[in-house]
């Protein structure tokens, strides 16, 4: 690419501001148009597994929220890891994005789908929503608090909604006692202390 040479950047660095959108586009079509990902990785001088792993924190939560099972299967098969392992590794990011959804029904559907993924090949001991949130309750709170301080009013509105969704989900699935004791289910204090809210 002549522009990359002109600015003395690698192909990856040149495209990096748009890499999330590029990864979304190519990964979404990985089963119908696999050549797109092949050519992209060739252009970036990266192996396909290396590219997928590098973009995993951006792409995996999105495809789980979309409940895009074919792409998720491609990711786990390419990386040679169980989908449950990948999900646990990005638990805070996934849950934060889930609770930023504006539709309570969509939140329930994504949580149910996520638990199905976590319990694949789990044997006799099933993963519950309680145990899943416990793995990342503090990082989850951090993700939402960071979003809460975003200057975009729309983002702040979504985080306020997500705090309600999180508390409702905790109460619904985990019980009132857990809601009272868990830091990730007490976002209302943070909002009251936030002067911009």
Look at residue 19 and tell me if it is in a domain: no
User: Can you give the pLDDT at residue 83?
Assistant: 94
pLDDT in tens, the chain (197 residues): 554 554 455 666 667 888 999 999 999 999 999 999 999 999 999 999 999 999 999 999 999 999 999 999 999 999 999 999 999 999 999 998 888 887 888 988 999 999 999 998 776 788 888 888 888 878 887 877 776 665 556 555 555 555 555 555 555 544 444 444 444 444 443 333 444 44
Q: Is residue 82 part of a domain?
A: no
Number of domains in the chain: 1
**Would residue 28 count as lying in a domain?**
no
Q: Is 31 helix (H, G, I), strand (E, B) or coil?
A: coil
pLDDT at position 11 is 64
pTM of full prediction above 0.85: no
Q: What is the pLDDT of residue 190?
A: 38
In-domain check, residue 153: yes
| Of 128, 14, 131, 110, the residue nearest 64 (C-alpha) | 110
Domain presence at residue 42: no
Whether residue 174 lies inside any domain: the answer is yes
Does residue 133 sit within a domain? yes
What residues make up the domain containing 121?
A: 90-197
Residue 79 located in a structural domain: no
Q: Where are the alpha helices (DSSP H) in 29-136?
A: 34-44, 48-54, 56-65, 69-79, 83-89, 91-99, 104-118, 129-134
């Amino acid at each position: 690419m002549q522009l990359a040479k002109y600015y003395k950047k690698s192909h990856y660095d040149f495209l990096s501001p748009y890499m999330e959108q590029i990864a979304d586009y190519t990964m979404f079509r990985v089963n119908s148009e696999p050549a797109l990902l092949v050519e992209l990785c060739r252009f970036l001088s990266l192996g396909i597994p290396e590219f997928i792993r590098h973009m995993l924190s951006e792409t995996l939560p999105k495809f789980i929220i979309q409940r895009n099972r074919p792409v998720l299967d491609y990711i786990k098969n390419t990386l040679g890891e169980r989908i449950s392992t990948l999900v646990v590794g990005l638990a805070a990011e996934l849950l934060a994005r889930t609770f930023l959804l504006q539709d309570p029904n969509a939140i329930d559907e994504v949580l149910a789908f996520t638990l199905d993924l976590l319990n694949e090949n789990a044997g006799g001991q099933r993963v519950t929503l309680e145990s899943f949130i416990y793995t990342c309750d503090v990082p989850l709170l951090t993700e939402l608090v960071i979003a809460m301080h975003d200057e975009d009013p729309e983002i702040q509105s979504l985080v306020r909604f997500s705090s309600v969704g999180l508390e409702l989900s905790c109460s619904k699935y985990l019980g009132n006692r857990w809601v009272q004791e868990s830091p990730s289910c007490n976002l209302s204090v943070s909002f009251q202390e936030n002067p911009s809210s």
